[in-house]
Homo-oligomer: A and B are copies of this chain.
Amino acid sequence: MDPDLSALDSFLADAGDDGYLIDADSSDSDQRYLSGFDAHDPFFTLFTGETHLLVSGLEYGRAKKESRADSVSRYADYDYQYGSPEERDRMLADFLVDHGVSSLSVPARFPLASADGLRERDIGVEAETDGVLTGIRATKTDAEIESIRDAQRANERAMERAETLLREASVEDGLLIHDGRELTSERVRREIEIALLERDHALDETIVACGIDAADPHDGGSGPLRSNETIVIDVFPKNKATNYHADMTRTFSVGEPSARAREWYDLTAEAKEAALAAVEPGVTGEEVHDAVCDVYEDAGLPTLRENPATETGFIHSTGHGIGLDVHELPRLAPGGAELKPGHVITVEPGLYDPEVGGVRIEDLVAVTEDGCENLTDYPEELVL
């Protein structure tokens, strides 16, 4: 699926620059998207209307076969092997001049040393902070949405396996027991990851956080799981073939949790529905976020919108775009821009307090021409 790069053409025309350059490995999703190439070590992708790669000899054969570039050059074409940083800058400048480039736009996170090296060689380099490629990536083709949908199906099977472990657990002295041993965050996480791997999906991290761990939205969780406390399970796998992600969170409790946790769960389900009802083209990410803040603030709970320094309550944004990156544009947060058809976003309100624990419910949603399609097919049930 070749990307539609017309917005990059317009951007360069407006900026008056000859080209857009990326210097990164493929873990940088803009690099992967623009080059269509997967490499561990940094390489260069130049866009001038056409796409030109500059790679080491080691990557040359594969880049010619696998990338979407119109041309591929290798370091040796510019008499460079493993040399000094100055020689590398010289090679890069020669490559740019060969392609008629004397002024560049680059991503905000373009490496400083490369930029300064080119500037010393009279090539203009300006970082653009609009995230033009990241912006292009936000709008998915049907094929990209299909990849995300596939990842979400694998995600649901993995969540099912985790939920089954919790359901099968017995309780002794407030601890969950499975197969005669304590059921820990680590054991549940491993089962989730194996379930994903069996479906050719992978992930960097999985959150299985209970009690006070769950009160910190980015705590991965560790140790024994306990009954009557909320357990937040947040899984965001990557399809290993396509590199597209899915993302879903459910909160469970084995046995009834505290009245406060139950109240928070119901409120969070309500906040999620309010957000989903707000999602349609033309609405901003900030407006969707506001819909969540309204629900929580009306119930008297603290939010970052009301108090930027709060450490409890609703202390993150409502959601984020998802695709080649787990977190990408658009943002459902203060300043979040207009939603458009083809955006794929998470909607994930949550509440946190070490005194209560954590609650989060997250669905994956595609913005359509007239609203949104929920790509998530998984029940919401707090008490197992």
Residues of A within 8 A of B (CB): 27, 39-41, 57-62, 76, 79, 81-85, 106, 108-116, 125, 127, 129, 186, 190, 193-194, 197-198, 200, 202, 204-205, 216-219, 304, 308-309, 311, 315-317, 326-327, 331, 333-335
Residues of B with C-beta under 8 A to A194 = 194, 197-198
Given contacts A81-B334, A197-B197, contact A41 B317 (CB under 8 A): no
Asked if residues A127 and B112 are in contact (CB atoms below 8 Å), the reply is yes
The residue from B39, B114, B308, B333 contacting A57, defined by CB atoms under 8 A apart: B308
Residues of B with C-beta under 8 A to A326 = 40
Asked if residues B82 and A218 are in contact (CB atoms below 8 Å), the reply is no
Copies in the complex: 2
Given contacts A57-B304, A193-B197, contact A85 B111 (CB under 8 A): no
Asked if residues A58 and B327 are in contact (CB atoms below 8 Å), the reply is no
Residues of B with C-beta under 8 A to A316 = 58
Q: For the A-B complex with A40-B326, A109-B112 known, give 13 more contacts whose Cβ atoms are closer than 8 Å.
A: A39-B218, A40-B204, A40-B327, A58-B218, A60-B311, A62-B216, A76-B309, A81-B308, A82-B317, A85-B108, A108-B111, A193-B202, A194-B194
Residue of B nearest to A307 (CB): B76
Asked if residues B112 and A59 are in contact (CB atoms below 8 Å), the reply is no
Residues of B with C-beta under 8 A to A109 = 111-113
Residues of B with C-beta under 8 A to A113 = 108-110, 127, 129
Closest beta carbon of chain B to A379's beta carbon, Å = 27
Closest beta carbon of chain B to A85's beta carbon, Å = 4
Asked if residues A81 and B304 are in contact (CB atoms below 8 Å), the reply is yes
Residues of B with C-beta under 8 A to A108 = 85, 111-114
Measured in the bound complex, the distance between the Cα atoms of B308 and A79 in whole Å is 8
Chosen A-B contacts, 9 in total, with CB atoms closer than 8 Å, are: A57-B304, A58-B218, A61-B311, A108-B113, A108-B114, A109-B111, A109-B112, A112-B115, A194-B198
Closest beta carbon of chain B to A255's beta carbon, Å = 27
Residue of B nearest to A106 (CB): B112
Residue of B nearest to A305 (CB): B81
Residue of B nearest to A60 (CB): B311
Measured in the bound complex, the distance between the Cα atoms of B186 and A202 in whole Å is 14
Measured in the bound complex, the distance between the Cα atoms of B116 and A109 in whole Å is 11
Residues of B with C-beta under 8 A to A57 = 304, 308-309, 311, 315
Measured in the bound complex, the distance between the Cα atoms of B127 and A39 in whole Å is 24
Residues of B with C-beta under 8 A to A327 = 40-41
Asked if residues A129 and B85 are in contact (CB atoms below 8 Å), the reply is yes
